[in-house]
Structure 1
């Protein structure tokens, strides 16, 4: 069974000769045409013909080629064609379409039948002829298939019979490289234009720059084959769009427990609500905190706008009922990153911590804050629950006519027909949140078809829970602001009100933390230092009516009480009276004069000047003598009535004071002198010191 030779190509165009790279032949089409003209190929009859098909042109018989070129053609015939290796062939088969694989199976069936006919005694030519008639394929086609698997093991024939496989890779669609760059540059932009528009723009540029163009279908085919999807997404949608095509991370909650971490976020409902004090209906916003482990909603509050005050109150509701969580996953919004919530927290706004930052609520409660990735809803699982509320709350039957639609271009036909009273909206929302927590058949990795309530309650019983003290509860009921006290008296000004207390002189000119209830500014402030230590309360200084006598009298009474209290407190800081200090100064001055000034041993008299007036010795008058006598008699009388001074002993003075206090406690009146002495002595530092020592001794006993 001899195999006939596959017919050799005998007619060649100039382009084919140039592409064949034959010896002694030019390698360009222009060079081949010049070689044919120079050697007179067109004048040899039977050796030149008009090329059939599109484009026309001449074809030359291979007998016109130089000897070395003809030998190269014969060698090329005997040389086996380049094939893909076994692994590449099967990889190409695996990447082929199902239709191509079915064609390969049909080809293999035809070749198997040829082999069977040869085994039955037919020659290969007869077997090919018989199989051609049966399968409706030409004999040449069957011979080509045989050539594809010539020398290939039968087990690998299928891979080489796929259309386009078996030999060298099919040439790609060729387009001008420069024009392709223009189209790709105009198409691969984040404005994401259509390919047809980018092609039109590139054509205009190519026409002005004399660049060769190509059809749109060919450009589209090349781009689809050469530009990977992730490159296209990166250029047309950016990094944010590229992240959507990257596999998401599965975050397991199996190692967590209830109240270990909570998450908080705002959600605006697509419902018109009548808010008290507002003239027009509003779309209310809900701040909610949920447990990350179980998914249960723990606390929620409503407000018109997203603000840190509502976040504080909502987080306070959570802590008051369930305890203090260890971690909090928060949105990057200003309402969460405000100083009132996260002041002093690292990575807040991704800035450094300043020394004078006011500690926020979460910082003071020891909650570790985690910031969610901006513009990435998958970072917060609570977003999935908000999606449920869009369907179960905003579209609730009780809110028909108040639903606004989730987009400006998706408004219902009955848009704006009615608005829901706030109390009615809260009632429906509360029922839906309770139903959300109690709904069974949850599919999280910790739920196992249980409800959020069941998962939370089971873990909460055995979880370490931190409860807040009464002092800590003040941290979320009030709001913190860093304010500076007045440089004179420590007075604070906040939201148009003035606050002051007598003790605030100690914070004059200093920056402090004023915690207050924004809804009750007239209730006063609680003052803390920057390190969180409580200093005291400050009352509001209410303004008085300009012409009101009562307001003026009230202010005068407060001033008098302040002066009286200050006087009593000042007495404790001054142990000696002004008279005693003056007397001691006089005694000190006399002592210094007697000790420091020695007596002069040499005295020189200064004679009077002759022109100095001569003054006679003056004698006191009778009236002056009588006045001096009366003064001495008055001093004597006062000395006789002055109470006897106790011995100059602190213990004796203190014992006498206790004795007088006991007499007064028994109901016996003291003399005027005793009462004055006891009042003055009880305000001295000596009396307070002996009182403290006596109390300390009694405590030790």
Structure 2
């Protein structure tokens, strides 16, 4: 009978790391981390103290992953042993890992055994085996072999021992061998975030192996080796990163039945898939909706629509929520700047945005006693409101009133009537308000708290009995105002905010101090309320210089448009310059230098002919010369200047040096005479200059020294 337990049942961490079994770490540190993560030492049966020197812990092989257990059974199946007391747990573990087709064979064999035993009560066992074997068209010897396999086994444990044993015996066919370097190269190429195909990785590695003389496997064998030796989760982490790894584990299920209405809310912004004609904009836009949702009932409590996510819209939606329903106790945000800003959440230590300083003024939510919770960034499952936004994509964006204005949920999913219409803002807001009300009132909700009711009914039932906190008149001022910390002028105490100046006579007493300014972000000229950093109200200051934009949103949009223009120009330059100058210079440096042949002039200008004296010159009359007269004439000639020395003849090398000197002075910006420029332009057209210029380029100035 095939052995159903491995030869070694208890393993130390060092032995586990050195075993090379699948799905087990190959280092002691990795094994220790796995033992601690899975809590092996707390198992009462399969973990024990190691006896002998060194101590430590030993772990039973039954704690190993299923693939590691199967590999141990395969390695131990090569040695056949006589029937021995079997470990029923190991037998069932091995049976559970078998394919269904093999399990079906074991069940059919068990049915044959039962029929034989039923007939044995009326006749002999020998005749029962002969009769059943004839009906099933199998050999009687086969049935007797099945009885031998279950000898001494409890009736309830027969099924694993009747399964075909060919899967527990190691294959005798030799395995293909390859150089370890081949596997290293294959893993390095395949396990990358770029997610290359296995075929391309294999082709590159094979080309490298052939160049280096390294033995490699066939493509299908290499693929099977990857699947057998690298766990799927490891492959996902290497090729898809941490986001892909998170998908390998089921999301956490949170129970919201213990909450009450308005006890906790969550908020986010959603960019609607509808083109809207916004006042003041020539082209249609896709507005952003900042919404708050109750976590207990999933009801939308408040929302605001704006061009982009901003703290002004979020603050207005928060004010509507508090005025209409009350103050929540908990609020779940993501790390968007419209939420994680100092206006709303200043003083929260776990904020993901902006620098957290000790002198930061408390935001609106901490001052109202709201505990802020931050969702995991870029993780939509952490915010239940994302599920409701998915309904908006169907019931709001695709509403019949918005036909022709739907933009599609992806760039490659645009409808054929894309951008054929834009919805006026007033009409869009009316339809949006209707659909949000219908979303809250729709019955038949299957959430744990709704149980077939609508979100409105679920919220109303709990809201009627839950303790609700209402805002005081002083708290109303908090969300209606923006806040920023500013330092007063050291001379007269004037405060400057967004290019507007605010001052009152009492501010001289606090000159040079840092204060907290609260203001209406939609109208900066209304003045502001000044508080100390400790929250004490100091007084009201009027706006003295109305030089800024009329609202903060306009100032933000202007700055955003300017940044967008700069970014667009930079991207255009980057797209235009496909390669850098350094790369281009490197490409040019690798080009072979062409050999420049001596140029031969196609048009030759004939030099002027010098006429020699005739062999027989005509006789001319010669005047008579009186020596005395000539002597007196010579005495009258005065030597006013010395005779000019005769210049030596100019060689070709001198002419070329002269040309190079003129070119050098011209390149340096020195003044060149007109005569020199004319001579240089004529000389540069001669073959003499072309030939010597080529020699200079090839061999440098040393070729003309001496």
Shorter-normalised TM-score: what interval?
0.5 to 0.7
How far off its partner does 1:543 sit?
A: 6.5
1:368 aligns with 2:371: yes
* Residue number among 343, 353, 357 corresponding to 1:354 in the alignment: 357
Aligned residue in 2 for 1:447: 450
Indicate the SS of the match to 2:338. helix
Quote the Cα distance in structure 1 between the aligned partners of 2:83 and 2:212.
Answer: 42
CA contact (8 A) 1:346 1:352 kept: no
Residue in 2 that maps onto 1:429:
432
Question: What residue in structure 1 maps to residue 177 of structure 2?
Answer: 176
- TM-aligned CA distance change 1:176 to 1:351, over 3 Å: farther
Q: 1:103 aligns with which of 102, 105, 110?
A: 105
**CA deviation string 1:646-700 (max 9, x = no partner):** xxxxxxxxxxxxxxxxxxxxxxxxxxxxxxxxxxxxxxxxxxxxxxxxxxxxxxx
Shift of the 508–295 alpha-carbon distance from structure 1 to 2, 3 Å rule, reads same
Look at both structures and tell me which one has the larger radius of gyration over its CA atoms: 1
CA displacement at 1:531 relative to structure 2: 1.8
Q: Distance in 2 between matches of 1:85 and 1:324?
A: 63
C-alpha change, 1:118 and 1:437, in structure 2 (3 Å) is closer
Structure 2: distance between partners of 1:456 and 1:114: 67
Residue 162 (structure 1) aligns with: 163
TM-score normalized by structure 2? 0.60
Partner in structure 1 of residue 493 of structure 2: 490
CA contact (8 A) 1:264 1:289 kept: yes
Q: Is the 8 A contact 2:276 2:424 kept in 1?
A: yes
* Structure 1 equivalent of residue 532 of structure 2: 529
Q: Which residue of 1 aligns with 2:341?
A: 338
Match of 1:89 among 85, 88, 91: 91
Q: In 2 relative to 1, CA 102–419 (structure 1 residues): closer, same or farther, beyond 3 Å?
A: same
Q: Structure 1: 5+ residue runs without aligned partners?
A: 1-75, 545-701
1:572-618 deviation digits (Å, cap 9, x = unpaired): xxxxxxxxxxxxxxxxxxxxxxxxxxxxxxxxxxxxxxxxxxxxxxx
Q: Which is further off, 451-460 or 196-205?
A: 196-205
Stretch of structure 1 that moved more, 396-405 or 314-323: 314-323
Q: Any conservation in 1 of the 2:337–2:353 contact (CA below 8 Å)?
A: no
Q: Who is 1:285 aligned against?
A: 288
Whole-angstrom CA distance in 1 between matches of 2:215 and 2:120: 54
Tell me the residue number matched to 2:477: 474
Determine whether 1:503 maps to 2:506.
yes
Report whether the alignment pairs 1:271 with 2:274: yes
Partner of 1:302: 305
- Aligned partners of 2:216 and 2:155: how far apart in 1? 46
Q: Tell me the distance in 1 between the aligned counterparts of 2:401 and 2:259.
A: 38
Question: Contact 2:236 / 2:245 at 8 angstroms: preserved in 1?
Answer: yes
Aligned to 2:541: 538
Q: Structure 1 residues 224-233 or 149-158, which shifts more?
A: 149-158
**Structure 1 residue 81, shift from structure 2 partner:** 8.3
C-alpha separation in 2, matches of 1:275 and 1:429:
15
For 1:145 and 1:219, locate their aligned partners in 2 and report how far apart those are by CA, in whole Å: 39
Give 1:404 shift. Answer: 0.5
User: Is residue 237 from structure 1 mapped to residue 234 from structure 2 by the alignment?
Assistant: no
Q: Which has the higher helix share?
A: 1
Cα displacement (A) at 1:222: 3.8
In structure 2, distance between residues paired with 1:345 and 1:323: 22
Deviations 1:613-651 (A, max 9, x none): xxxxxxxxxxxxxxxxxxxxxxxxxxxxxxxxxxxxxxx
Partner of 1:386: 389
Does the 8 Å contact 1:89/1:165 carry over to 2? no
Counterparts in 2 of 1:172 and 1:389: CA distance versus 1, 3 Å: farther
Q: Report 1:25-424 matches (<5 A).
A: 80=82, 85-107=87-109, 158-164=159-165, 168=169, 174-176=175-177, 178=180, 179-349=182-352, 353-424=356-427
Closer, same or farther in 2 for the Cα pair 1:309/1:83, shift >3 Å?
A: same
CA distance in structure 2 between the partners assigned to 1:456 and 1:121 by the alignment: 75
Cα separation, 2, equivalents of 1:78 and 1:537: 95
**Which runs of 5 or more structure 2 residues have no equivalent in the other structure?**
1-77, 548-706
Deviations 1:434-487 (A, max 9, x none): 111111222222222121111211222222222222222122112111122222
More deviation, 171-180/407-416: 171-180
Question: CA distance change for structure 1 residues 481 and 426 in 2, over 3 Å: closer, same or farther?
Answer: same
Q: Would you say the 8 A contact 2:202–2:219 is kept in 1?
A: yes
Q: Who is 2:555 aligned against?
A: none
**1:399-457 CA-partner distances (Å, limit 9, x unpaired):** 01100111111111111001001111111111111111111222222222121111211
**Distance change in 2, residues 1:175/1:335 (3 Å):** farther
1:50-76 superposed Cα distances (whole Å, 9 cap, x missing partner): xxxxxxxxxxxxxxxxxxxxxxxxxx9
Task: Determine helix, strand or coil for the equivalent of 1:298.
Answer: strand
Q: 1:280 offset after TM fit, Å?
A: 1.3
CA distance in 2, matches of 1:166, 1:340: 67
Structure 1 residues 207 and 142: alpha-carbon distance in aligned structure 2, compared to 1, 3 A threshold: farther
Q: CA RMSD in A?
A: 3.5
Give the TM-score normalised by structure 1: 0.60
